[in-house]
Structure formats: C-alpha cells, structure tokens
Amino acid sequence: MHFTPLTIDGLFRIEPARHGDERGWFSETFRDDAFRANAADVAFVQENRSFSQKSGTLRGLHFQTPPRAQGKLVSCLAGALWDVAVDIRHGSPTYGQWHGMELTPENGVQFWIPAGFAHGFCTLVDNTVIGYKCTDTYAPDHDAGLAWDSAGIDWPDGANPETLSGKDRTQPKLADLGEVFV
C-alpha cells in the first residue's frame, strides 16, 4: 500500500497494491496498522455507500461540525467519480484551497480526507457507487455543508448543478461559513 501526502496538509492519496494473475487480481484495501502509521491515527466506526444513477451528479460539499467531525477514507466501487476536499480549517495556510482526484475501481485509488475538510464529488459515468469509511457516526445535529461552487473547484465538464439535493442548493458560501474548525 502506497501513501502519498498531497499539497494540502492532512490529505493523502492511497494506492493499494494489486497482485494478479490470469484469473484477475487481489488487493488489500485497508489495514489499520499501515493506515495509522502512514496517514492518521484514527479509528473508523461507520462505512457508507452512495449510488448515483446519472453521470454529472453533484453531491456535497459535506462535513460534520465538532465535536462530531468526521474523517473519510473514500473509494469508488463502481463507475467513476471526481472526488474533492476543501480545507475549511480556519487559520490553516491552505484555508479555502481544494484538491480533487479521479477515483475508479480500475485505478483502485483511495482518498483520505481528515476532519476539517468539506467533501463532495461528481459522477463521471452512469451508475457510480462511492464507498467511504468514517471516523465518527452520522450526527444530524452536526450535519453541515459548503456551497458546491464557492471554493473555485474545477468541476469536470458535464457536472450538473440541477442534480444537487435541496439541502445542497442552500449551503453557505465559503466567505459566509465562519470559523467551524479552528
């Protein structure tokens, strides 16, 4: 498993090794000791999956507020997606900056997004399934978000804002977010 720190502190690109032969391949996609030693010393307590039927579906940008903030280890189980994290840690030298990457079952890449980031994605093909492990359980009273278009994210061609949920259409702009993570 290869862990690559990204330009925004705390974010990692994780590439599990694949061992294959004529039958296909095997991959160890998560190992607690390796993750804690190379990315973050956290425990995962919940795993989620989200299915999007149409290409161009936008979801996010989501996060949970302290003390129920969540880190997320994201992967694509079917289809393809453009996954994005925005730094919302007030006082961070990279506050408001974002990082995105393509996740597919074929590339096997995972994206580690710690607490203090807003997370969202856009599907690149029909019938896309995203999976992510979380460091805290869902807490409706701490559920929050950031407007999908307020951080200068370079969304892929075909990203369709009409697919946003009602909740995601009313999220605050980055300038109006306030000091959620200090």
- The catalytic position among 19, 99, 132, 142 is 132
Among 2, 19, 62, 99, which one carries the catalytic annotation? 62
Whether 132 is catalytic is: yes
Whether 168 and 122 have beta carbons less than 8 Å apart is answered as no
The beta strands (E) that lie in 12-96 are given as: 12-15, 18-21, 24-27, 46-52, 58-64, 72-78, 81-87
Quick one: how many helices (H) and strands (E) in the chain? 2, 13
What sign for the dihedral angle of Cα 101, 105, 109, 110? positive
Q: Is 62 a catalytic site residue? A: yes
Q: What is d(CA 13, CA 109) in angstroms, rounded to the nearest whole number? A: 7
- Residues involved in catalysis: 62, 132
